[in-house]
Homo-oligomer: A and B are copies of this chain.
């Protein structure tokens, strides 16, 4: 169906200014923060759930693909309109953000920026833990559908652990509510947790109830340097077995440390094989004692240096080094392939070895950092997508990264999602039957396959991601 024809169909349902058909507009919606460009036929900016429900019904009638889109910060292609059709840009959806202090909840519409939830919760003395790096721009709708997390997953869990109720437009255009305002709810199947992380293939969230927790009183942060990567791995597990549950435990490898130092010199030890950042939050008295124990554990594992931040400024300095990683490596080349293969914590040293071997085998610029406390590593390959020969090596390296993660008992994706980029590898992790059980749900809910098609499930015969 052509743009003009679809436009005719949607015009009675959507106000004039909320239908975008110009090629320049359509082009703006053809990419996200991942890889690949796909031009949609049309962009619609719905303002309320009724418009979305009407569009979904129409789309089923005329078999038009629908692609919901938040802030498009997806690193796996979650919002790419790979089969054309209509992009539903949620940016103009009505904004609602209500903090319910008594019930420790926030009621939010999908268009709200996650950072605004953080801020309003904190103003009420509360805390919304999920904190993906993009939280200052990404919206809660996208965070919910991708089950985003970030550094706080270890202690606080992911978006899924906070979403307890949803309002959803189903792929066939029904409006349903799942869960509710209570943390305990076993009334039927947990559709809330099924839809959270479904990458927009099972429904479009139009409202969510997320749990908040009391804001931790205080926090302490340290940075430890290690000559040998394996020692940093032991430090991480020993801190946890000592009964300490940090709110974040980040790891940067040598390539990553060097990238940051050459981007903005901040006194990082460029000879270290690894540095780790450990942050603890909670009661003032408790964390003062715990951070000392963390320091001792790091030294016992042969840390060459341990810096405990004494002031908020020193803390900010430590985190600045971590936050500079992405900008620093972006400077290293025009194309960044950012993975999130995740392994059981105990396998981090082995996974790091495998990653460095892959880097050497394919002669690629690969840096590794990530949320080591929960085994969620971010191997990043810096390349140039115009270099066809190198991209072939990148493809092979990416396949081997996934193989390594699965062989070590891990998963293809810890937090970025499968999207378009990892779907060929689904069977490697889940087996044919595992993927089929997921597909049965998709087919039962979306019989015409019109909601975010081309995501999660491999195309028939597809066994490798194609970057070139």
A467 at the binding interface (Cβ < 8 Å): no
Contacts of A289 in B (CB 8 A): 283, 285
| CB < 8 Å neighbour of A180 from B104, B191, B410, B437 | B410
Q: How far is the CA of A188 from the CA of B241 in the complex (A)?
A: 31
Residue of B nearest to A201 (CB): B189
Tell me, rounded to whole Å, the shortest Cβ–Cβ distance linking A459 to chain B. 15
Of residues 252 to 287 in A, which have CB atoms within 8 Å of B's CB atoms?
Answer: 282-283, 285-286
| Cβ contact within 8 Å between B190 and A160 | yes
How many identical chains are in the complex?
2
| Cβ contact within 8 Å between B374 and A184 | yes
Contacts of A416 in B (CB 8 A): 186
A5 at the binding interface (Cβ < 8 Å): no
| Cβ contact within 8 Å between B286 and A186 | no
| Cβ contact within 8 Å between B435 and A188 | yes
| Cβ contact within 8 Å between B184 and A414 | yes
A154 at the binding interface (Cβ < 8 Å): yes
| Cβ contact within 8 Å between A189 and B182 | no
| Cβ contact within 8 Å between A197 and B191 | no
Q: How far is the CA of A188 from the CA of B285 in the complex (A)?
A: 42
Stretch in A145-153, A303-311, A353-361 touching the partner? A145-153
Q: How far is the CA of A290 from the CA of B160 in the complex (A)?
A: 29
With A286-B285, A346-B103, A443-B444 given, is the CB distance from A190 to B184 under 8 Å? no
Of residues 191 to 240 in A, which have CB atoms within 8 Å of B's CB atoms?
Answer: 191, 193-194, 196-198, 202, 213-215, 217, 237, 240
A157 at the binding interface (Cβ < 8 Å): yes
| Cβ contact within 8 Å between A418 and B187 | yes
Contacts of A186 in B (CB 8 A): 146-147, 197, 411, 413-418
Residue of B nearest to A105 (CB): B344
| Cβ contact within 8 Å between B441 and A189 | yes
Contacts of A315 in B (CB 8 A): none
Q: A residues within 8 Å of B by Cβ?
A: 100-105, 125, 146-147, 149, 153-154, 157-158, 160-161, 170, 174-178, 180-191, 193-194, 196-198, 202, 213-215, 217, 237, 240-245, 282-283, 285-286, 289-290, 342-346, 371, 374-376, 409-418, 422, 426, 429-431, 433-438, 440-445, 456
| Cβ contact within 8 Å between A161 and B158 | no
23 A-B contacts (beta carbon < 8 Å): A105-B344, A147-B186, A153-B184, A160-B190, A170-B433, A175-B433, A178-B434, A180-B411, A182-B414, A184-B374, A186-B418, A187-B413, A187-B418, A187-B430, A188-B430, A189-B197, A189-B456, A191-B437, A194-B194, A214-B240, A214-B241, A283-B283, A283-B286
- Given pairs A178-B434, A184-B411, A214-B243, 14 additional interface contacts (CB within 8 A): A101-B241, A102-B237, A157-B161, A176-B430, A177-B434, A182-B344, A182-B374, A186-B414, A187-B412, A187-B430, A188-B426, A188-B430, A191-B434, A194-B194
- A-B pairs with lowest CB-CB distance, top 3: A283-B286, A285-B285, A184-B414
Residue of B nearest to A147 (CB): B186
| Cβ contact within 8 Å between A194 and B190 | yes
Q: How far is the CA of A433 from the CA of B203 in the complex (A)?
A: 13
| CB < 8 Å neighbour of A431 from B176, B411, B414, B438 | B176
Contacts of A438 in B (CB 8 A): 188-189, 191
Tell me, rounded to whole Å, the shortest Cβ–Cβ distance linking A253 to chain B. 19
Residue of B nearest to A416 (CB): B186
With A193-B160, A290-B283 given, is the CB distance from A182 to B343 under 8 Å? yes
Contacts of A412 in B (CB 8 A): 187
With A102-B346, A177-B430, A433-B176 given, is the CB distance from A190 to B197 under 8 Å? yes
Contacts of A149 in B (CB 8 A): 184
Most chain B CB within 10 A, of A187, A237, A430, is at: A187
Residue of B nearest to A202 (CB): B189
Residue of B nearest to A104 (CB): B240
Q: How far is the CA of A420 from the CA of B414 in the complex (A)?
A: 38
With A214-B243, A437-B191 given, is the CB distance from A154 to B183 under 8 Å? yes
Residue of B nearest to A198 (CB): B189
| CB < 8 Å neighbour of A444 from B184, B242, B433, B441 | B441
Contacts of A426 in B (CB 8 A): 187-188
Tell me, rounded to whole Å, the shortest Cβ–Cβ distance linking A136 to chain B. 21
Q: How far is the CA of A170 from the CA of B176 in the complex (A)?
A: 27
